[in-house]
Every structure is written in C-alpha cells, then in structure tokens.
Homo-oligomer: A and B are copies of this chain.
C-alpha cells in the first residue's frame, strides 16, 4: 500500500490486513507506530498501557495456535479459511500485544477499553500512514489464560488485542460504509 499522510484520507483507507510479505519491518517504523499509540488519550491521563512487540518465532507460533483455537471456538464450521488473504498470525513479521492495567477495584470492564482501544487505533492508523497493514483481533481472549502464560503477563494486566503488523501482499482500496444517516440520530434515540 502507498504511504498516506492526509489525516482525513487515512480514516477511509484503513483496512483489515491478514496477509503479509516477507519484507522486514524496521525498528524505526515500529517506534513511529508505538509513538502514535502512546500519544493517544487515557482516563484521567493515567497512561496505563504496555505494548509487547513479538518477533521471536517460537512465541509467535504459540500465540498463533492459541488464536486459532479461539477462532474455531467462536466460528465453528464457519471458521474463515486460511489462505492467500488470511495467513496465521505466526506468519506476520511482528505481533504487537497491547495491554492495559486493570482498575484497582475490579476486573476490566467495558469502559476500561476507553484507555487502550483509542491507542490501538492510533497504532493501526500510524501503520497505515506508513503503508503497513494491521488488523484488530481479540479472539485470543477466548484462550486468555494460555496467552498470558505464553507472554508471562502478570495479574492485574489485561491483553486487549493481538495486532499482526507487516507489509501487505497486495494493494487495498478505500473501505466502504453505508450512508452516515444510518448511524446518526439527533438529540435522542429514534427507533
């Protein structure tokens, strides 16, 4: 994919990329992407983020196996086929696992996501800006205990996603959406 700097265009060109070429991802590119992530917002500006950058093939293989189990559990016979457009996670040059501190008083809840998913979005937008592909996956959470064991993630920390990162094997056009009016209401909910 071509690099892209215009912010408004960038939103329309984010695509879910699940197949990557062998081209290496440089440390500089990863740093730019993670800088974008940590400049995102968080509740009370607590910045409760941690990013595990996985390049070790053995670790990638283990995460990939746990993720495939999660997919099969979620989709059963409808599990999307692996192929040219969906490689296993183990085939990505880099996997990034964004984590967040859980609130002191309770387990991670819906709004805990407000302090990590905006940062993940920055990460994915910055990757797209450079011409790199990503996709936001969360099905590893169906094997969370195993994934946290693989990565030695301690108590009190939640893994929010596994993001494969690499150079796409092909080009992608803009994403498509129905008209805005389908999603928008004025002043109150209208059924």
Proximity bits, A1-26, B CB within 8 Å = 1, else 0: 00011111011101010000000000
Q: How many angstroms from the CA of A189 to the CA of B99 in the assembled complex?
A: 10
Q: Is the CB of A160 within 8 A of B5?
A: no
Q: Is A141 an interface residue (CB 8 A)?
A: yes
Q: Is A32 an interface residue (CB 8 A)?
A: yes
Q: Is A188 an interface residue (CB 8 A)?
A: yes
Q: Is the CB of A183 within 8 A of B129?
A: no
Contact of A187 among B54, B110, B161 (CB under 8 A): B54
Interface size on A, residues (CB 8 A): 73
Residue of B nearest to A142 (CB): B111
Binding site for B on A (CB under 8 A): 4-8, 10-12, 14, 16, 31-32, 34-36, 38-41, 43, 45, 47, 49-56, 59, 108-114, 116-118, 120-122, 124-126, 129, 135-136, 138, 141, 150-154, 157-158, 160-161, 175, 177-178, 180, 183-189, 191
